[in-house]
Amino acid sequence: MGFRSWDMLRVVVKSLSFKVLYHLDIYLSGQVQNSPSPSVDTPTLELVEEFILQRRMSALQELQLLEIMCSCFQEQSRDAVRQLIFSALFTLQGDL
């Protein structure tokens, strides 16, 4: 893979991860606001797994993903939403 192709792939993975986390934040914020007992449902976990966790990434891409995740946690001011995002990212599928 040439340098330009590798650079473009890096940007695409970073952008996709950011978009998934952004929409996850919006979705879970709405759940916290509208539901007495918000939770992370199976389709949400499947999306996170497909678009963030199941991708083959280089060490640099993994570091970028960690940076995006940390930013997401730091920017979210509501503890309940932050906990749900964490749960969506780190809950094992077998525990459902």
Number of domains in the chain: 1
* pLDDT number for residue 79: 92
pLDDT tens per residue across span 14-57:
677 788 888 889 999 998 999 888 888 888 888 888 777 766 77
Give the other-Cβ count within 10 Å of 9's Cβ: 14
- Residue 36 tokens read as 């007495």
- What sign results for the dihedral spanned by CA atoms 50, 7, 64, 84? negative
Q: Report how far residue 51's alpha carbon sits from residue 13's, in angstroms, rounded to the nearest whole number.
A: 9
Asked if 32 contacts 82 with a C-beta cutoff of 8 angstroms, the reply is no
pLDDT tens per residue across span 51-94:
777 667 778 878 888 888 898 889 889 999 999 999 888 875 54
Q: Which domain holds residue 51?
A: 3-95
